[in-house]
Structure 1
Amino acid sequence: MAYQQYPVRFALAAAATLALLLSGCAGLPGYPAATGTPVAQLVAGIDCQAPNLNSNWMVFPEGVPTQTDLTAAHPDAPEPGTVPADFEPVAAHVCTFKGSVVDDQGRWAAVTVETRGGDFGPLLSALALPSDQAGFNQACTADMEFVPELWLENATGEAMRAAWPRTACGKTKRATWTALDQLELTDTVKLPLVLEITRPALDAGCVMSTGTPEQSLQFGVTGLQTSTTTGEVGENILPVPVPPAEMLSYDGVDGASVCVYTVDPVTEPEPGELRDSEGMEFSDNLLESMLTLQFGTFESATVLGTDAAALLAAAASAVPAPACTADLTRFAVLWPERAGTRLDSPIQVELDGCQRLFVPASEALVPAPALLAALIG
């Protein structure tokens, strides 16, 4: 899916999920069937980085940053199942998809792996409980339960992915949680999954994706700035509008950090995409605009020296730009600094196309030629 279409598609997917939870909870995606859970398959070892595990927790828009997907080197994990009768665990590994890891490449979304040991009798008994069958017109609460992946490992290093016994509403039975809490926590480690923010962007304080300057006029925000996530891994990932701060003076600005973005191509809505559940076409102009939002992907970062930054003082009083429809492929977001402190009023400049300048709560302006030259290099 294209990133600019993500907010609406996510909303539709969320609505479908909510409807499923309200109408009945058997057969939830990613969960074993309520009855007849197969015996778990033994594999060479645990793998909390398997791509088919985190895909149920994290939704990363396609093509936003240029990312290295660590999980590509890992095979899919087997389906969860019941514990084989002759399997004797010596360790339980609980994989929770949250947190982050920072290294030389940047900031990664992570999976937190807790290792537990001790008496596995209560846990094996809890896992042996059958899952309940949903009743006719089963009534269930609409909250969604995020359940960690559970691996069991034996003395030879063989491992199995355990299925959590479920209630009639698809929620986990408390006996498994209680048994896990009784085990001793012996180790906790965070493992990288997907590169969220590259090291150059992280060092420069740049987000990996942001809306084009044109959108600051259309939506009354400063660029619809986003990173690849908006919080803990596993949370819904949506563009977060950044409301414009009260107009600040750029007087005395003595520097600026610059984030350069390449404009992503616009993907037109697919046939039928603008229809509701009854097949009627949406006529909401805002919805149609959301489907065609145009974003930029982080390309590079630099800084403006004192001389070039001094040109920003006149930005808010610059000449209004004439009407223009030239195609934009690159733009910059400037974060002015005064005495080492970053101001909350970024300036956006189109590096090609119409080559306009945008400040919060203002129309498109004509940038100073010297400033444009300094940015284009």
Structure 2
Amino acid sequence: MSHRARTAGGAVAITLAILLSGCAGLPGFPAATDAPIAHLVEGVDCQAPNLNHDIAVQEGVPTQTDLTAEHPAAPDPGRVPTDFNPVAAYRCTFFGSLDDAQGRWSAVQVETLEGDFGALLSALAEPSDQAGPNQACTADMELVPELWLENTDGDALRAAWPRTSCGKTKPATHTALDELELTDTTLLPLVLQVTREALDANCAMSTGTPEQSLLFGGMGLQTFPEGMSDGAEPTTIPAPPAEAPSLAGVDGASVCVYTVDLQQDPGLSELNSVEGIDDLALGAMMNLQFGTFAGASTLEADAAVLLAAAASASQAPECSTDPTRFAVLWPERAGTRLDTSIQVELDGCQRLFLPGSHALVPAPELLNILQ
């Protein structure tokens, strides 16, 4: 069977801090006594499209390929039938990443557990507690693994976790799972988030257009996967210094090219209802444009010398034509990439942007090289 695995540590809790009142069960995981009998399917599938894949996808990063679309929907979690005799349990946690020839995928970690299932079946049969009046609960968000059971015939079910009166999973289930023997752990791909070309070139899959560096004063809008080693997570580059950096001695540069969809993101309209955002800030956010990775290249030393003169270039005239293509250049000095990027609009106004500077007029030779 290809869809197997397990998650160390069971449920992960992210503490949000305060106390809430009136906590009840969590959506997606019905109480054991209220849930119907679990529906049997052929085989375990932790890659099903209706499972918790959203927490494994980096928000704002366009996905390239979604393998979950190739899988049928998983059944709703339910109670274990009294005549169901499991020979294996599968604990599926949607964290982690997986690199292959295509690039970097979000992944599900699947742990296979075997042994005596008596304690686990007893724990899963416990009734869920009902919330009492004025129930006080911590506001922890519990990230609960998917739990599958499989019998000797290969039939599988998705088990519901019994809940406390605050909607948290009861500890008996976790204890019973930890007493089983871990026989296999594997990572299965879900969504391709970074293509191999972008990964090899250390390019982010998505970044803000050059004009945003002026609009927001260089507030670190560039998302860039630092190092891009196995398991690395995308990070946000900090705001650049107030003054333009020195580009003296630059002898090379890596180039990431992006294309822009000029259609406004419909989701931004939801900001209209957010309190605390004034009209000016809302207008700026509604006009945000982002580029999607389209290719990569490098500038050799003879072309990189053009970057050293960029800081002294003349200020660009007023222009309101949005670009559909732009490049992010990462200068290098003696084989070391500098922390500051240069952004160049490849069409539209064809301006060059340096941190701590006005929009500038790039050298025509540089534009020709980047086209």
* TM-score between the two structures when normalised by the length of structure 1: 0.86
Match of 2:38 in 1: 40
1:333-352 map, 5 Å? 333-352=328-347
- Give the whole-Å Cα distance in 2 for the aligned partners of 1:53 and 1:150: 11
TM-aligned CA deviation for residue 27 of structure 1: 4.1
TM-aligned CA deviation for residue 375 of structure 1: 0.4
Does the CA-based 8 Å contact 2:25-2:166 persist in structure 1?
no
Match of 1:94 in 2: 91
**Number of aligned pairs?**
349
Does the CA-based 8 Å contact 2:53-2:94 persist in structure 1?
no
TM-aligned CA deviation for residue 249 of structure 1: 1.7
Q: Which has the larger displacement, 34-43 or 52-61?
A: 52-61
Does the CA-based 8 Å contact 1:34-1:133 persist in structure 2?
no
Match of 1:52 in 2: 50
Q: CA-to-partner distance for each residue in 1:44-74, whole Å, 9 max, x for gaps?
A: 0000001111345345557x53511111100
Match of 1:169 in 2: 166
- Give the whole-Å Cα distance in 2 for the aligned partners of 1:23 and 1:255: 59
Q: Does 1:309 align with 2:304?
A: yes
* Residue identity in the other structure for 1:195: L
Does the CA-based 8 Å contact 1:337-1:343 persist in structure 2?
yes
* Residue identity in the other structure for 1:295: F
Q: CA-to-partner distance for each residue in 1:283-321, whole Å, 9 max, x for gaps?
A: 353244234321101011111121111111111111111
2:69 aligned residue (57, 67, 72): 72
Does the CA-based 8 Å contact 1:212-1:223 persist in structure 2?
no
TM-aligned CA deviation for residue 247 of structure 1: 4.1
Does the CA-based 8 Å contact 1:268-1:292 persist in structure 2?
no
Secondary structure at the counterpart of residue 319 of structure 1: coil
User: Normalized per residue, which structure has more strand?
Assistant: 2
Match of 2:367 in 1: 372
Secondary structure at the counterpart of residue 156 of structure 1: coil
Does the CA-based 8 Å contact 1:26-1:169 persist in structure 2?
yes
Does the CA-based 8 Å contact 1:222-1:360 persist in structure 2?
no
Does the CA-based 8 Å contact 1:224-1:239 persist in structure 2?
no
Does the CA-based 8 Å contact 2:56-2:96 persist in structure 1?
no
* Residue identity in the other structure for 2:299: L
Match of 2:240 in 1: 244
- Give the whole-Å Cα distance in 1 for the aligned partners of 2:80 and 2:32: 16
- Give the whole-Å Cα distance in 1 for the aligned partners of 2:339 and 2:283: 30
Aligned CA distance change for structure 1 residues 270 and 212 (closer, same or farther; 3 Å): closer
Could you tell me which runs of 5 or more consecutive residues in structure 2 were left unpaired when the two chains were aligned: 1-15
Match of 2:187 in 1: 190
Does the CA-based 8 Å contact 2:224-2:237 persist in structure 1?
no
* Residue identity in the other structure for 1:22: L
- Give the whole-Å Cα distance in 2 for the aligned partners of 1:292 and 1:80: 42
TM-aligned CA deviation for residue 224 of structure 1: 1.0
Does the CA-based 8 Å contact 2:49-2:73 persist in structure 1?
yes
Match of 2:9 in 1: none
CA RMSD of aligned residues (A): 2.7
- Give the whole-Å Cα distance in 2 for the aligned partners of 1:128 and 1:342: 58
Aligned CA distance change for structure 1 residues 283 and 248 (closer, same or farther; 3 Å): closer
Secondary structure at the counterpart of residue 368 of structure 2: helix
TM-aligned CA deviation for residue 250 of structure 1: 1.2
Could you tell me which runs of 5 or more consecutive residues in structure 1 were left unpaired when the two chains were aligned: 1-17, 232-236
Q: CA-to-partner distance for each residue in 1:12-39, whole Å, 9 max, x for gaps?
A: xxxxxx8xx8343324222214751111
- Give the whole-Å Cα distance in 2 for the aligned partners of 1:316 and 1:164: 60
Match of 1:323 in 2: 318
- Give the whole-Å Cα distance in 1 for the aligned partners of 2:177 and 2:32: 22
* Residue identity in the other structure for 2:186: V
